[in-house]
Structure 1
Amino acid sequence: MRMLLAQTTARQSRRVVLLLAAVNLVTLGSLTAPVVAVMPLKFAALLPEDQRAGALATALALGSAAALLANPLFGALSDRTRGRLGRRRPWMLGGVLAGFAFLAALATGESVTAVTASWVGAQLAFNATMAASTALLADSVTEQQRGSASGLFTAAAFVGTLPPLALSALLPRHVDAVSFVMPALAVVVVGAAMMIPERMPLQATPAEPGPRRRELLRFAGSRAFVAVWLQRFAMQAAFSLAAAFTLYLVIDRMTADTVTATPVAMVATLCGGTGIVAGAIIGGTWASRRGSYLPFFAAAGVGLAAAAMLRAVAETPVALWLAAAAGGLAVGTSLAVNLALAMRVLPARREGAYLGLLNVAETIPQVVVPVAAAALLRVGGGDPVSGAADNYAVLYATAAVIALLSLLTLPAVRRASAPEAAARPAVSTSA
């Protein structure tokens, strides 16, 4: 009887993890088509050729800033929410409904201001869903499940970008319609996720209303969580640098023209994405079984550094593809184990706020790395491999150094990442 109950509980837990991974998949997927197709076409139709790039860059930057704000804000609000729907579920559902409405406004917008404002609103809304779903994952999984659950949750985010990319390529004349496929699925999936029972702290009490500056002090005082945050930031920055300007690298070193360079660069991107998914699932599952996270952090940092150095000297498509796949494996493993360890060291009843801050560590590099990468290309006297004006060797060597610097966080997380580290406090389920 006890064994049957344990098996039933395990099946229910797997369903919860799969459902939350699906929420992550459709939410990230909802933000893909507007970036790759809808907004570029909108600005091209609304503006002269010499103004469209600047307008698009401004809109994307404002959207990124909104995402930076939304993750910790809505995570903290979900920590404080009380009601019949629980803490996380109102923000998950409200986020996708508002996001759908903002994307509808974006598709019908007829001015630069309307399109930009709609994109900012969509970023705020869908990031509210992501912040709440990540916190609900932390609420729902046991210590033994954290690595595998984090791996699946992380992998789903990258898989979610593939359907809108494929549909946009197959239906280039219907990108507005394509942009509604994932948001519509998001409403359905989050509706199903509303059935997930929420777990509340045993002695949960209504949190004080209004912003609390002490939250940042708690964050700064949590040595293990700060180390986890810095490790995620360093690995994401290194990976973003290592993946920057791949198309230009292929043109300058391998093909000398854009037509034949494009498929080579696209295969490299696919190799990197496949590596991330594989690394997240395999690395997260393996870490769950071992119970120790430290070896995975170390292997990921060294692996990403090696992959970046291979890219720094790559002169053939095969070498580039190998470097992309190895880098993806490393960063996928790192992201999965990083999230699992973060859930282990989170303060009780502050999961949403802290996981929102953790997401910021992944978002900031996406904002600043393109500018930094462009500056690094101008360092030195040009590329030592191809002789081109852009110095790819310096760019990717810098990525390798940053990946190795992530290893400096290991002493601070050594105790927390050990198998004997205490599990989080007990929780009780409430409706």
Structure 2
Amino acid sequence: MTSPSDRTPTPPLTQKTFVATAAGNDDPPPPVKGLRRLMTWIVPANLGIFLVWGAVPGILLPQQIAVQLGEENKVANLALIATIGAFASMIAQPIAGQISDRTRSRFGRRAPWIVLGALAGALSLVGLAFAGSIVGFIIAWTLVQICFNFAQGPLSAVMPDRVPVRRRGSFATLFGIGMMVGALGGQIVGSFFFRSITLGYVVFAVFAVVVLTLFVVFNPDHSSARIQPEPFDLRAFLGTFWVNPVKHPDFFWAFTGRLLLYTGYFTVVGFQLYLLTDYFGVEYPEQVIPLLGILSLVGIVVSTVISGPLSDRIGRRKPFVFASALFVSVAFALPWAWADITAWMIMTFIAGFGFGMFQAVDTALISEVLPSAESFGKDLGVVNIAATLPQTLAPGVAGAIVLAFGYATLFPIAIVLGILGACAVWPIKAVR
């Protein structure tokens, strides 16, 4: 029998030891407990966040600005508010990822921030409902961006933390379904609150808190309480906003491709409300938006369900990215050449199909070019800027283009951005 003095104390885990036990970088990986449950719950979790990104900047915020601040300056006001909020989002998500990487708790590194971010974001949405001045809109929307990004950044790190490489295409498909159904479904649901904006904000706030909390409860994170804390390094903290493109070129090109493709897509789709009213002359857009959203969702879901597993089977990602850019470019050419609501309806389906194809494989592609297993949250926080920023910045970018050149110019600019985004994926060497 050994005495207490003979026992060797369990050494604390270091960051490197901890990440080495995760499934993310092992191939073939060790068994992952609860993977099927995790893959099921990622859909509603993503849905909770991206319903907000779809409904608020796409429907509720533009309508609220037009009502509260006036029709005559609505494009300029929306551009200003969206731009400031989007840059807050750009800063918040990589910081959230870095903080979650360093978090030590028995609930893990990601779970506390997912729940706290959702709660704070919900309160900020309620505050946005009562904004009545341009300053109030800027403050409230900026807080919404920061808080929900503190939930989204750690949520995105779940895949490289806990999903084996060989299952990431399928996981990315589910991840993408939640993301895109939320982004476009948010516009559908948001249109139902077109005349009841305050109620809409409350509904989206409550839904986000509920589904993200349930995600954490049913998919408990690995405890990080025993990880050896690392001393604060100011240089490393500032590096939150930077990944060296020379040292990690694949990561750089993946980031650039996503940024360009998302910006092109959401510059058009994210400005839908004002395009319908001012370009196509639709008198009651809230009656048309649900049909448009359904057309987009059908295209997205069909292509996403097919493309993700198929890319796993053939072991290739790049062909799907190139095909997606082709579909989206053809789609945007229709309303550019034919300024009619019928052309817009056809465009929404074709563009949705193309974008779903891209979304199905892009998340898996990025997970395979992350620079370091020790900083999944930080690195995904950086790359998720390329997904979230275009959605929230789209009203600002589109507004600036419309003010300078008119509505029709949105389409050729979006086509060029999409093609450049696809070309940016070509130099990636780690992924075929």
Shorter-chain TM-score bucket reads 0.7 to 0.9
In 2, the alpha carbon distance for the partners of 1:62 and 1:198 equals: 34
Matched residue type, 2:320: F
- Given the alignment of the two structures, is residue 237 of structure 1 paired with residue 263 of structure 2, yes or no? yes
Question: What whole-Å deviation, never above 9, does each CA across 1:256-279 have from its counterpart, x for those lacking one?
Answer: x53499867774554334323433
Deviates more, 1:326-335 or 1:162-171: 162-171
Once the two structures are superposed, residues 115-136 of structure 1 have per-residue CA deviations (whole angstroms, 9 ceiling, x without a partner) of: 4322221211111111110111
Q: Provide the alpha-carbon RMSD of the alignment.
A: 3.6
Give runs of aligned pairs for residues 102-117 of structure 1, distance below 5 A: 102-109=124-131, 112-117=134-139
**1:16-165 alignment, distance < 5 Å:** 16-35=38-57, 39=61, 47=69, 55-109=77-131, 112-161=134-183, 165=187
Normalising by structure 2, report the TM-score.
Answer: 0.77
Partner of 2:368: 344
Q: 1:414-429 residue pairs with structure 2 within 5 A?
A: 415-418=429-432
Distance 2:75 2:60 in 1: 14
Q: How many residues align?
A: 393
Q: Is residue 74–residue 353 contact of structure 1 (8 Å, CA) maintained in 2?
A: yes
- In structure 2, what is the equivalent of residue 225 of structure 1? 251
AA partner of residue 306 (structure 1): V
Cα drift, residue 12 of structure 1: 2.8
Specify which of 170, 173, 177 is matched with residue 199 of structure 2.
Answer: 177
- 1: CA distance between counterparts of 2:410 and 2:143? 34
In the superposition, the TM-score normalised over structure 1's length comes to: 0.77
Match of 1:400 among 415, 419, 428: 415
* Residues 116 and 151 in structure 2, CA contact (< 8 A), matched pair in contact too: yes
Q: Deviations over 1:384-427 (max 9, x none)?
A: xxxxxx6x3x65344333333234334422x3224xxxxxxxxx
**Which residue of 285, 292, 295 corresponds with 2:316?**
292
Report if aligned partners of 1:232, 1:335 keep a CA contact under 8 Å in 2: no
Determine if contact 2:259/2:387 at 8 Å carries over to the other structure.
Answer: yes
| CA–CA separation in structure 1 for the residues paired with 2:302 and 2:32 | 23
> Which structure 2 residue ranges, 5 or more long, are not aligned?
1-30
Deviations along 1:326-380, one digit per CA (max 9) or x if unpaired, are 22222222123111111112121211111111121234444263146427846xx
Relative distance call for 1:376 and 1:284 in structure 2 (3 A) is farther
- Residues 114-159 of structure 1: CA distance to partner in whole angstroms, max 9, x if unpaired? 4432222121111111111011132121112211211221221232
- Aligned residue type for 2:259: F
Q: Higher relative contact order by CA 8 Å / sep ≥ 6: 1 or 2?
A: 2
Describe the shift of the 1:145–1:305 C-alpha distance in structure 2 as closer, same or farther (beyond 3 A). same
The alpha carbon displacement at 1:46 in A equals: 5.6
| Residues 27 and 183, structure 1, Cα contact 8 Å, conserved in 2 | no
Task: State the SS of the aligned residue for 2:108.
Answer: coil
Q: CA deviation at 1:169?
A: 4.2
Residues 305 and 183 of structure 1, relative CA distance in 2, 3 Å threshold: same
How many percent identity over aligned positions? 26
Q: Which runs of 5+ in 1 are unaligned?
A: 1-8, 379-389, 419-431
